């Protein structure tokens, strides 16, 4: 186990309950997708796992230090006044790593996402997909043990999304961090993760869990297989049911 | 062609208005002490150009000095307020009260505090008082307009409040801080002129003094000349700060590279 939520409930003043009770255990090196309708508290669950928020009740267990956790948001969330390299260097700078080590690791992280040539480019000069890659490089530069992705590709077009999903698998293979991936896109969840946790509409609880029994990274025709289509079908139905139960 | 027309339109209108002014003053035989024709104003500008330029330079210097002091105090207060929420709550109403008090009403006070022997200080002080609010307000809003997710990242990577202020909130606020300074520069000129009207004596020798002096001698054309130069000075400051703001933003976003 690397991090876990145990019967956590999050309540916000004025807004009432946003999440839970909800439990999720993340094993080292696994990829978990959390799928659910918007407003079900997926992002809140991710912030709990990151240690950025405390639950109202329940328990958050984290076996990783803060420095080994990374977070990627729906938007690239780059500093517009800093170039790509400076953005990627941020976590190392805040951890006060020496400049030499910093430069080396930043260059390596940018190479991993295929953006060595864009190191001096500012966020305004990058395309949406490139900016997202810089964001990924920033998350990877600390060699995280736990990588939290909050609908990272939701704002991108279909083709860019597919490439980035492949990239996530390729990057995962190199260092095997545990990945928790929040999405409302069922196909993306099935393609990326070895298990998919389906949440009910807000305040979200775990509705069901579907294991995807196929090797990671996926082979070329995986989206055309029966396994893929069945899993997508099952999860879509579960999502529908979860949404109906509330309505 | 279209751009040329856009530039020409206001110039043509100005010339037409001046023509009507000139013609009516001549036809109606208005006395020059009451309303001089534009030709007389132009003549006065040319005749007194050296003095007007020196006066304009004096006014500009006092305004910029005021802007400088306003910038330092405004930024220091905004940064402290950025670290202490309660301090911000305490400062804001006082700053707003200062802002809504007409600067003319403050002028006699400031001139007493500056010392009657130092009218220049009073002028600089008043320029600073009016320039202070837009700088403080721009910086305060800017420091609060930080991207929430970036703040979360800073927290995740263990940044303290001071680190977050210097490395995230201050650079995020840069465009609004520059914008505040642009507005403040225009106001500083107004503050300096008001200050000179109230506190002014021959010692300040700015454009406002030129107006007072000419007014006392009923040399209306010379009053107009000083007003026109004041207007040009205002336009110049406005234009220069506009260019400054654009340059800074380009640098900030990295467009210049």
Interface contact B253-A83, CB threshold 8 A: no
Q: Which of A121-125, A164-168, B16-20, B105-109 has the highest mean pLDDT?
A: B16-20
pLDDT band, very low/low/confident/very high, at B257 (cuts 50, 70, 90): very low
Mean local confidence (pLDDT), B31-41: 91
Identify the contact set of chain B against chain A, taking CB-CB distances under 8 A. Answer: 147, 149-150, 152-159, 163, 167-168, 171-172, 174, 252-255, 257
B63 Cα to chain A: minimum distance (Å): 31
Of B154, B155, B171, Cβ closest to residue A81: B171
Do A90 and A77 form a contact (C-beta atoms < 8 A)?
no
Mean local confidence (pLDDT), B68-82: 94
* pLDDT tens-digit profile, chain A (247 residues): 889 899 998 988 888 888 878 888 999 989 999 988 877 888 889 999 998 888 999 899 888 876 789 999 988 999 999 999 999 999 999 888 888 889 999 999 999 888 888 889 999 889 888 999 999 999 999 889 999 999 888 778 888 888 888 888 888 988 899 999 998 888 888 888 999 998 888 788 887 888 888 887 888 888 888 888 888 888 888 888 877 765 5
CA dihedral angle for residue B42, residue B238, residue B12, residue B24, rounded to 10 degrees: -40
pLDDT of residue B64: 95
For residue B255, pLDDT beyond 70: no
pLDDT of residue B12: 93
Determine the residue of chain A that is closest to B251 in CA distance.
A81
Sheet with A57-62, edge to edge strand ranges: A16-26, A3-12, A57-62
Interface contact B150-A80, CB threshold 8 A: no
Selected residues 18-37 of chain A with any CB under 8 Å from a CB in chain B: none
Q: CA A63 to CA A4: how far, in whole Å?
A: 9
CB-CB neighbors (< 8 A) of A121 in chain B: 254
End-to-end CA distance of chain B: 31
pTM: 0.83
Mean local confidence (pLDDT), B140-166: 90
Phi first, then psi, for residue A29 (nearest 5°) are 75, 0
| Cα R_g (chain A), whole angstroms | 18
Interface contact A81-B254, CB threshold 8 A: yes
From residue A131, how far is each of A73, A83, A136, A155, A167 by CA, in Å? 12, 11, 9, 11, 14
For residue B8, pLDDT beyond 80: yes
Do B38 and B22 form a contact (C-beta atoms < 8 A)?
yes
pLDDT band, very low/low/confident/very high, at B27 (cuts 50, 70, 90): very high
Beta-strand relationship, A69-72 and A57-62:
unpaired
pLDDT of residue A245: 64
CB-CB neighbors (< 8 A) of B162 in chain A: none
CB-CB neighbors (< 8 A) of B257 in chain A: 120, 122
Which of A159, A210, A212, A161 lies closest to A185 in space, CA to CA? A161
Interface contact A95-B150, CB threshold 8 A: no
Decide if A79 touches B, using CB distance below 8 A. Answer: yes
pLDDT band, very low/low/confident/very high, at B256 (cuts 50, 70, 90): very low
CB-CB neighbors (< 8 A) of B178 in chain A: none
In the predicted model, what is the mean pLDDT of chain B?
A: 90
Alpha helices in chain B, H assignment, sequence order: 2-27, 38-47, 49-83, 85-100, 103-114, 119-144, 148-156, 161-164, 170-199, 207-216, 220-253
For residue B128, pLDDT beyond 80: yes
Beta-strand relationship, A178-183 and A31-35:
parallel
Q: CA B210 to CA B200: how far, in whole Å?
A: 10
Beta-strand relationship, A57-62 and A31-35:
unpaired
Which of A124, A152, A229, A221 lies closest to A187 in space, CA to CA? A229
pLDDT band, very low/low/confident/very high, at B232 (cuts 50, 70, 90): very high
Q: CA B257 to CA B253: how far, in whole Å?
A: 10
For residue B4, pLDDT beyond 60: yes
pLDDT band, very low/low/confident/very high, at B184 (cuts 50, 70, 90): very high
Interface contact A124-B150, CB threshold 8 A: no
Do B146 and B168 form a contact (C-beta atoms < 8 A)?
yes
Q: CA B130 to CA B191: how far, in whole Å?
A: 6
Extended beta strands in A66-140, E state: 69-72
Q: What is the largest CA-CA distance in chain B?
A: 79
Q: Around Cβ A92, how many Cβ atoms within 10 Å?
A: 22
Interface contact A94-B255, CB threshold 8 A: no
């Amino acid at each position: 186990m690397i991090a876990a939520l145990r019967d956590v409930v999050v309540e916000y003043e004025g807004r009432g309950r946003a999440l839970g009770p909800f439990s999720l255990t993340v094993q080292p090196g696994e990829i978990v997708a959390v799928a659910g309708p918007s407003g079900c508290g997926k992002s809140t669950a991710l912030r709990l796992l990151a240690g950025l928020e405390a639950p109202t009740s329940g328990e958050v267990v984290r076996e990783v230090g803060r420095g080994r956790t990374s977070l990627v948001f729906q938007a690239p969330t780059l500093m517009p006044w800093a170039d790509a390299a400076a953005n990627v260097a941020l976590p190392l700078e805040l951890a006060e790593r020496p400049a030499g080590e910093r430069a080396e690791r930043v260059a390596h992280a940018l190479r991993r996402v295929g953006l060595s040539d864009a190191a001096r480019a500012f966020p305004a000069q990058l395309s949406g997909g490139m900016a997202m890659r810089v964001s990924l490089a920033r998350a990877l530069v600390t060699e995280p043990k736990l990588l939290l992705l909050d609908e990272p590709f939701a704002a991108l077009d279909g083709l860019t999304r597919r490439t980035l999903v492949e990239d996530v698998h390729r990057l995962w293979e190199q260092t095997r961090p545990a990945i928790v991936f929040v999405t409302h896109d069922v196909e993306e969840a099935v393609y990326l993760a070895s298990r998919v946790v389906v949440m009910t509409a807000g305040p979200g609880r775990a509705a069901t869990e579907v294991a995807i029994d196929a090797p990671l990274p996926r082979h070329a025709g995986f989206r055309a297989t029966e396994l893929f289509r069945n899993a997508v079908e099952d999860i879509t139905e579960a999502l529908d049911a979860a949404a109906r139960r509330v309505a | 062609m279209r751009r040329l027309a856009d530039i020409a339109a206001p110039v043509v209108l100005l010339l037409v208005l001046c023509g009507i002014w000139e013609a009516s003053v001549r036809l109606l035989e208005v006395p020059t002490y009451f309303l001089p024709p534009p030709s007389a104003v132009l003549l006065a500008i040319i005749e007194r150009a050296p003095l007007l330029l020196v006066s304009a330079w004096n006014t500009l210097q006092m305004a910029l000095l005021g802007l400088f002091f306003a910038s330092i105090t405004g930024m220091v207060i905004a940064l402290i307020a950025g670290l202490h929420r309660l301090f911000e709550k305490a400062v804001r109403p006082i700053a707003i009260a200062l802002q809504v008090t007409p600067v003319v009403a403050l002028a006699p006070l400031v001139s007493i505090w500056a010392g009657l022997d130092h009218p220049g200080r009073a002028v600089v002080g008043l320029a600073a008082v009016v320039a202070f609010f837009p700088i403080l307000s721009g910086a305060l809003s800017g420091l609060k307009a930080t991207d929430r997710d970036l703040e979360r990242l800073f927290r995740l990577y263990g940044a303290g409040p001071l680190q977050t202020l210097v490395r995230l909130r201050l650079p995020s606020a840069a465009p609004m801080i520059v914008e505040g300074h642009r507005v403040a520069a225009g106001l500083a000129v107004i503050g300096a002129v008001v200050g000179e009207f109230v506190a002014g004596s021959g010692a300040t020798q700015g454009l406002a003094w030129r107006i007072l002096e000419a007014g006392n001698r009923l040399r209306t054309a010379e009053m107009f000349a000083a007003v026109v130069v004041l207007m040009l000075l205002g336009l110049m400051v406005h234009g220069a700060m506009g260019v400054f703001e654009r340059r800074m933003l380009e640098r900030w976003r990295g467009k210049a590279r």
